[in-house]
Structure 1
Amino acid sequence: MAYREFANSELSRRSLLRGGAWLTAGAALAGMPMGRMAMAHSDAASWPKVSAMVQKYVSEGKVANMSAALGWGQGDPTLIARGTLALGGSTPADLDSLYRIYSMTKPVTGMATMMLIEQGKLGLDQPLAETLPAFSNMMVQKTYDGSVTDLVPAERPITIRHLLTHTAGLGYSIIQKGPIRDQYVKYGVVPGQVTRLPIPGLGREEAIRGLDKFANNLAQLPLVLQPGSKWSYSVGLDLLGRVIEVASGMSFDEFLRTQIFEPAGMSSTFFRVPQSEVARFTTNYGIMGGTPLPLDPARASIYLDDPAFPFGGAGLVSSPRDYDRFLQMLLGYGEIDGKRVMSEAAVKLGTSNLLPESADISGTWIEGQGFGAGGRVSDGAYGWGGAAGTVAFVSYKANLRASLYTQYMPSEAYPIHSAFPDAVQADLMAMAGA
Structure 2
Amino acid sequence: MLTTIRALGGATASLALLLATPMAAQTAPPHAPQPRPAATRSLPATEALARDYVATKKAPGIVIAVGGPDWTSIHAAGRTAADANARPVDADTLWRVYSMTKPITGMAAMMLVEDGKLKLDQPIGDFIPAFKNMRVLTDPATSLASRPAARPITVRHLLTHTAGLGYNIVTKGPLLKEYERLGIIPASVNAQAEVAMAKARPTSLEEFANRVAGLPLIADPGTTWSYSIGLDVLGRVIEVASGMPFERFLQTRMFGPLRMTSTWFQVPESAKARLATNYAFAGDTMIPVDPAATSVFLQRPSFPYGGAGLVSSARDYDRFLHMLLNGGTLDGRRVMKPETVALGMSNLLPDGVTFGGVDGGTGGEAGPKMGFGAGGSVYLESLPGRPAKGTYGWGGAAGTIAFVDPARRLRGTVMVNYFPADRWPLRTDLVRALASDLAQPVR
Question: What is the TM-score when the length of structure 1 is the normalising length?
Answer: 0.90
- Opposite residue 34 of structure 1, the aligned amino acid is A
Q: Provide the C-alpha distance between the structure 2 equivalents of 1:433 and 1:298, rounded to a whole number of angstroms.
A: 40
Residue of 18, 23, 29 corresponding to 2:10: 18
**Which residue number corresponds to residue 35 of structure 1?**
25
- How many equivalent residue pairs? 418
Q: Provide the C-alpha distance between the structure 1 equivalents of 2:357 and 2:409, rounded to a whole number of angstroms.
A: 31
CA contact (8 A) 1:141 1:222 kept: yes
Tell me if 1:410 matches 2:420. Answer: yes
**Which residue number corresponds to residue 56 of structure 1?**
52
Q: Provide the C-alpha distance between the structure 1 equivalents of 2:357 and 2:271, rounded to a whole number of angstroms.
A: 42
11-20 or 299-308, larger mean C-alpha shift: 11-20
CA contact (8 A) 2:39 2:442 kept: no
Tell me if 1:382 matches 2:370. Answer: no
Distance verdict in 2 for CA 1:36–1:61, change over 3 Å? closer
SS, match of residue 431 in structure 1 = coil
Distance verdict in 2 for CA 1:397–1:279, change over 3 Å? same
Residue deviations 1:185-232 (CA, integer Å, cap 9, x gap): 11111100010136999x788521110000000000111122111111
Q: Provide the C-alpha distance between the structure 2 equivalents of 1:355 and 1:376, rounded to a whole number of angstroms.
A: 10
**Which residue number corresponds to residue 374 of structure 2?**
373
SS, match of residue 422 in structure 2 = helix
Q: Provide the C-alpha distance between the structure 2 equivalents of 1:129 and 1:157, rounded to a whole number of angstroms.
A: 8
SS, match of residue 254 in structure 1 = helix
Residue of 274, 285, 288 corresponding to 1:294: 288
SS, match of residue 286 in structure 1 = strand
Residue deviations 1:16-59 (CA, integer Å, cap 9, x gap): 13333532435616xx143379979855x4240x3333222211
CA contact (8 A) 1:34 1:398 kept: no
Q: Provide the C-alpha distance between the structure 1 equivalents of 2:52 and 2:97, rounded to a whole number of angstroms.
A: 22
**Which residue number corresponds to residue 314 of structure 2?**
320
Residue deviations 1:214-255 (CA, integer Å, cap 9, x gap): 000000011112211111110000000000010000000000
SS, match of residue 411 in structure 1 = coil
SS, match of residue 34 in structure 1 = coil
CA contact (8 A) 1:383 1:393 kept: yes
**Which residue number corresponds to residue 3 of structure 1?**
none
Distance verdict in 2 for CA 1:363–1:322, change over 3 Å? closer
How far is 1:419 from its partner? 3.7
CA contact (8 A) 1:67 1:82 kept: yes
Q: Provide the C-alpha distance between the structure 2 equivalents of 1:303 and 1:391, rounded to a whole number of angstroms.
A: 20
Residue of 117, 128, 140 corresponding to 2:113: 117
Residue of 411, 416, 422 corresponding to 1:401: 411
Distance verdict in 2 for CA 1:80–1:181, change over 3 Å? same
CA contact (8 A) 1:22 1:417 kept: no
CA contact (8 A) 2:181 2:200 kept: no
- Gaps of at least 5 residues in structure 1 are 1-6
Query: What does residue range 125-140 of structure 1 map to in structure 2 within 5 Å?
Result: 125-140=121-136
- Opposite residue 374 of structure 2, the aligned amino acid is A
Q: Provide the C-alpha distance between the structure 1 equivalents of 2:356 and 2:80, rounded to a whole number of angstroms.
A: 39
**Which residue number corresponds to residue 177 of structure 2?**
182
Distance verdict in 2 for CA 1:423–1:148, change over 3 Å? farther
CA contact (8 A) 2:26 2:68 kept: no
CA contact (8 A) 1:20 1:417 kept: no
- Opposite residue 229 of structure 1, the aligned amino acid is T
Query: What does residue range 184-203 of structure 1 map to in structure 2 within 5 Å?
Result: 184-197=179-192
- Gaps of at least 5 residues in structure 2 are 29-36, 359-365, 380-388
Q: Provide the C-alpha distance between the structure 2 equivalents of 1:134 and 1:199, rounded to a whole number of angstroms.
A: 27
Residue of 104, 107, 111 corresponding to 2:100: 104
SS, match of residue 16 in structure 1 = helix
Residue deviations 1:249-290 (CA, integer Å, cap 9, x gap): 000000000100000010110000001111111110111112
Tell me if 1:343 matches 2:340. Answer: no
Residue deviations 1:364-404 (CA, integer Å, cap 9, x gap): 54662011100111112111101111101111111111110
Instruction: Compute the RMSD of aligned alpha carbons.
Output: 2.5
Residue deviations 1:86-142 (CA, integer Å, cap 9, x gap): 111341100010001100000000000000001110000111111111111111112
Distance verdict in 2 for CA 1:426–1:352, change over 3 Å? farther
Identity of aligned residues (%): 46
CA contact (8 A) 1:171 1:224 kept: yes
Question: What is the TM-score when the length of structure 2 is the normalising length?
Answer: 0.88
Residue of 344, 354, 359 corresponding to 2:348: 354
Q: Provide the C-alpha distance between the structure 2 equivalents of 1:414 and 1:314, rounded to a whole number of angstroms.
A: 21
CA contact (8 A) 1:404 1:420 kept: no
362-371 or 315-324, larger mean C-alpha shift: 362-371
Q: Provide the C-alpha distance between the structure 2 equivalents of 1:276 and 1:200, rounded to a whole number of angstroms.
A: 24
CA contact (8 A) 1:15 1:411 kept: no
CA contact (8 A) 1:137 1:153 kept: yes
- Opposite residue 25 of structure 2, the aligned amino acid is G
Q: Provide the C-alpha distance between the structure 2 equivalents of 1:292 and 1:206, rounded to a whole number of angstroms.
A: 30
CA contact (8 A) 1:42 1:78 kept: no
**Which residue number corresponds to residue 70 of structure 2?**
74
Distance verdict in 2 for CA 1:433–1:369, change over 3 Å? farther
CA contact (8 A) 2:118 2:241 kept: yes
Q: Provide the C-alpha distance between the structure 1 equivalents of 2:271 and 2:372, rounded to a whole number of angstroms.
A: 34
Query: What does residue range 187-336 of structure 1 map to in structure 2 within 5 Å?
Result: 187-197=182-192, 206-336=200-330
How far is 1:14 from its partner? 2.5
Distance verdict in 2 for CA 1:426–1:164, change over 3 Å? farther
Q: Provide the C-alpha distance between the structure 2 equivalents of 1:167 and 1:12, rounded to a whole number of angstroms.
A: 26
CA contact (8 A) 1:388 1:407 kept: yes
329-338 or 86-95, larger mean C-alpha shift: 86-95
Distance verdict in 2 for CA 1:244–1:61, change over 3 Å? same
